[in-house]
Structure 1
Amino acid sequence: MAKMQANQMRAGMVIEFEGARYTVLKQNIMIPGKGAAVIQVEMRNIKTGAKKDQRWRTADTVERLTTEDKEFTFSYAEGDHLVLMDPETFEQTTVSKDILGDRLPFLVENMTVNVRLIEGEPVAMELPDTVTLEIVEADPVVKGQTASSSYKPAVLSNGVKTMVPPFITAGEKIVVRTEDASYLERAKG
C-alpha cells in the first residue's frame, strides 16, 4: 500500500477507505468561491458493488493499493465460482461469479480474460470486447418490413436476448459486444 495525495487519484485506481476497497470511477476538482479546493470522487465498493461519493481536501492523503493486470484462461464454472488458469504456470485461481455481474453469460470456455489483482487477490475481470455466438431463436421477418427499418428480437446460445437485422436467421453465428449484447456483424467463416 502506498499513500498518495487525494488530488492524484485517477479513474481505475483502487484505494482503501474506512477499511473497504474501492475502485475510483471518476474524480472532479471543485474550487469553491473561497477556501481550499475539494476533490469529489465517485467510487465503487469492490466487495458490494455499491457506489459512493466522497470528498477530500487536496492535501488529504489516501491509501492507494497496487493493482496488477494479468491474463488468465477461463476453464470452467463450479457452483458460484469460476475456475481460471494461469497460462504460464498452469496454476488455477477461483473467483466468484459476481465479479462479472451482467456479463457472466458471455464467458465461454478457453476464453482469455484480463483479471485485475490487488495483492494477489482478484477484484475485477474484463472479457474480450466481442464474442461469437449462435442464434438459437429469431423472429421471422414481418411482411412489408424493409431491411433498413428495424432490428428484430433474437435469442443467443447463451440465453441472452439481442436485436439483429432482419436477414439474420436461427442457426447463424454472429459477433456481439460483451458489454451490452449488441449485434456487430455476421461471423466470418
Structure 2
Amino acid sequence: MKINGNEIRPGNVLEHQGTLWAAVKVQHVKPGKGGAFAQVELKNLLDGRKLNERFRSADTVERVRLEQKDFQFLYEQGDDLVFMDNNSYEQIELSKDFVGERAAFLQDGMTVTLEMYEEKPIGISLPQHVTLEIAEADAVVKGQTASSSYKPAVLENGVKVMVPPFIAAGEKIVVDTEEISYVRRAD
C-alpha cells in the first residue's frame, strides 16, 4: 500500500531502497523556507543498519503489512531455538542472536508471535510479562530509605534485575520482558 511521506508513523514497516525498514522515530519539520518534510529514522529489519531519510509530502513509499503467526517455543539446540507453528505444526529454527538478550525469558511451551514477510521471519515478540523465581538476592541494608532503594537480584534464568528490598531469594516475581525490569510480586 502506497502512502505519502507525511503519513509515516513510528512502527510502520516500509519498503525502501529494495529492502525492509521500520520507522523508529518520525519528526515533522516545517522550515521557514521550502516545503515541509518528515525526518524519519529507519532501522533495517534484515541486518539492523540505521538510516536517516527525509520524505516530502509528495514522496510516496510502500508500506508493508507483515503477517503475524503464533509459534510455541519447544527447546534450545546449541545456538538455535526451535519453535513450532501452532496451526501447521511445522518446526522452525532461529538463532539466539535473532531473539537477542530476551531469549533468556523463553520457557517451554511459551507462545510467541513471529512477524513474517514472504514466509521469512523478521521479528519476534515475547509475552509482555513472565513469572520467574529469584535465585539470589542481596540482604536488606538497615537504614536504607524506602524511596527507590532497589537491590540487585539474580533470576532463575541467570538474568540480573533490580528488585525492592522486601523481595527475598525463593520468591516468584513478574518481570517485564521488554524493559527487563521488576513489575510486581507473583500471586
TM-score by length of 1: 0.88
| 3-state SS of 1:7 partner | helix
Q: CA deviation at 1:65?
A: 2.3
Deviations, residues 76-97 of structure 1 (Å, cap 9, x unaligned): 2223322211112211122232
Query: Per the alignment, do residues 22 and 168 of structure 1 end up closer, same or farther by CA in structure 2, a change over 3 Å counting?
Result: same
Find the aligned partners of 2:8 and 2:142 in 1 and give their Cα distance.
56
Query: Per the alignment, do residues 20 and 143 of structure 1 end up closer, same or farther by CA in structure 2, a change over 3 Å counting?
Result: same
Q: Is the 8 A contact 2:5 2:37 kept in 1?
A: no
Structure 2, unmatched stretches of 5+, are none
What is the aligned partner in structure 2 of residue 180 from structure 1? 179
What is the aligned partner in structure 2 of residue 91 from structure 1? 90
Find the aligned partners of 2:49 and 2:166 in 1 and give their Cα distance.
41
Find the aligned partners of 2:94 and 2:2 in 1 and give their Cα distance.
28
What is the aligned partner in structure 1 of residue 112 from structure 2? 113
What is the aligned partner in structure 1 of residue 99 from structure 2? 100
Q: How does 1:1-189 map to 2 (within 5 A)?
A: 2-145=1-144, 150-188=149-187
Q: Is the 8 A contact 1:76 1:82 kept in 2?
A: yes
Find the aligned partners of 2:143 and 2:60 in 1 and give their Cα distance.
64
Find the aligned partners of 1:52 and 1:61 in 2 and give their Cα distance.
17
User: RMSD of the TM alignment (CA)?
Assistant: 1.9
Q: Is the 8 A contact 1:147 1:167 kept in 2?
A: no
Q: CA deviation at 1:172?
A: 1.5
Q: CA deviation at 1:147?
A: 5.3
Deviations, residues 98-145 of structure 1 (Å, cap 9, x unaligned): 232232211222111121111221111111111111111111122344
| 3-state SS of 1:109 partner | coil
| 3-state SS of 2:104 partner | helix
Query: Per the alignment, do residues 33 and 81 of structure 1 end up closer, same or farther by CA in structure 2, a change over 3 Å counting?
Result: same
Structure 1, unmatched stretches of 5+, are none
Runs (4 or more) in structure 1 with deviation over 3 Å come to 143-149
- What is the total number of aligned residue pairs between the two structures? 187
Counterpart code for 2:8 = M
Find the aligned partners of 1:31 and 1:4 in 2 and give their Cα distance.
19
Find the aligned partners of 1:38 and 1:169 in 2 and give their Cα distance.
53
